[in-house]
Amino acid sequence: MPAAIETPAFEVLDAPPCAVGESPLWCVEEQALWWVDIDGYRLYRHDYTSGRTRDWTTPERPASIALHCAGGLVTAMESGVFHLRPGPAGRIGSRLLAAASHKHSGMRFNDGRCDHDGRFWVSSMVHDMSLALADGVLHSLSIDAELRPRLAGLVTGNGLAFSPTGDRLYLSDSHPTVRRVWAFDLDPQGRLSGRREFIDMRVHPGRPDGAAVDAEGGYWICANDGGMVLRFTPDGVLDRQLRVPFAKPSMCAFGGPDLDQLHVTSIRPAVPVPGYDAALAGAVVRLYAGVAGLPEPAFGRRREP
């Protein structure tokens, strides 16, 4: 029997709606949530204690972010991966860590996050998704700033996440022509092996966008265009379906003092979707998912076992 659809209570974060909200990231030390608006060229930070949200303008489209062990954020944009240092009064410092070597113009980086050994993983894509070109590549960035291609042939790479033990990598292709999630074995040197299909999203609502893994190893994937966040067990069995208040959830992340709040970003569609409150499109919401997540690793730092 399929998992029942749940409609949990949610809270909307006090922030402007995004055009393409993405990459929510909880910082335990700051007790704050970071996220980006890709097409809005914006970086946001919401402080849990004060409820205050701050924002910065970025020099390029910011696709994904991760914590940096020296402070600030690793940020994948259009021309490369950068170390950003947000400061007061909207000022932001930017240093290139590794330049992109895209196959052709019109490409940018997309979904990214750090593994347990301090590497930053990120997929590239053709910005115009209507072209459906499989020119995207999954890369890893080492602490010595070597940006290494790991897997080619992606249209819209997404869904990056790692198992609690760090030895499994999840990756999706969210393009409408693909709609798959794969699992890989990951060794300490960053080598991938054992690629296998983990989820065929063609039999589930929506497209497999951004993801997170909880402390039990459950894989939470945003069903973009399906208005849901789905949880799959490590064996690939769908066991939770959470309805969210927008049609296009884009990525989720655990946060809050006990890491038991699921934060979900969203995309504002060009045309309002019937059945959804247009005022919430592009919002960031948080809800209690009934399970805790894990602290996000930082670039350049191995996470303690």
CATH number at residue 12: 2.120.10.30
Instruction: In whole angstroms, give the CA distance from residue 244 to residue 10.
Output: 8
For residue 242, the model assigns a pLDDT of 98
The amino acid at residue 252 is C
171 within some domain: yes
CA distances from 30 to 68, 111, 125, 255, 288 (A): 13, 23, 32, 11, 20
Q: Is there a contact between 156 and 173 (Cβ–Cβ < 8 Å)?
A: yes
pLDDT tens string 144-158: 889 999 999 999 999
What tens digit of pLDDT does each residue of 243-302 get? 999 999 999 999 999 999 999 999 999 999 999 999 999 999 999 999 999 999 999 987
pLDDT of residue 305: 60
Q: What is the pLDDT of residues 65-97, one digit of tens each?
A: 999 999 999 999 999 999 999 999 999 999 999
Q: SS3 for 27?
A: strand
User: What local confidence, expressed as pLDDT, does residue 241 receive?
Assistant: 97
Q: How far is CA 250 from CA 23, 88, 159, 225, in A?
A: 8, 28, 10, 9
With bands split at pLDDT 50, 70 and 90, how would you rate the model's confidence at 121?
very high
When pLDDT is cut at 50, 70 and 90, the band that residue 1 belongs to is low
Which residues, 6 or more positions from 252, have their beta carbon under 8 angstroms from its beta carbon? 24, 210, 211, 212, 220, 222, 229, 262, 263, 264, 265
The answer to whether residue 94 sits within a structural domain is yes
Is 158 a domain residue? yes
pLDDT by residue (tens digit) across 155-204?
999 999 999 999 999 999 999 999 999 999 999 999 999 999 999 999 99
Contacts 24+ apart (CB under 8 A), 34-40: 34/65, 34/73, 35/65, 35/263, 35/265, 35/284, 36/62, 36/63, 36/64, 36/65, 36/75, 37/62, 37/282, 38/62, 38/63
Residue 96 counted as domain residue = yes
In a domain, 277, yes or no: yes
Contact status, residue 276 vs residue 247, Cβ threshold 8 Å: yes
Instruction: Over range 21-27, report the average pLDDT.
Output: 98
Give the total number of structural domains in the chain: 1
Find the domain containing 186 and state its range. 5-299
Is 304 domain-assigned?
Answer: no
Active-site residue among 209, 235, 258, 260?
Answer: 209
304 pLDDT above the threshold of 80 = no
* 141: in domain: yes
Q: What strands lie across the sheet with 42-47, from one edge to the other?
A: 21-27, 32-37, 42-47, 53-57
**What is d(CA 144, CA 165) in angstroms, rounded to the nearest whole number?**
24
pLDDT at 303 over 90: no
pLDDT of residue 301: 84
Query: How many Å apart are CA 168 and CA 236, to the nearest integer?
Result: 13
pLDDT of residue 119: 97
214 in catalytic set: no
* Per-residue burial over 274-289, b = 16 or more CB atoms within 10 Å of its CB, e = otherwise: eebeeebbbbbbbbeb
Whether residue 305 lies inside any domain: the answer is: no
Residue 136: pLDDT over 90: yes
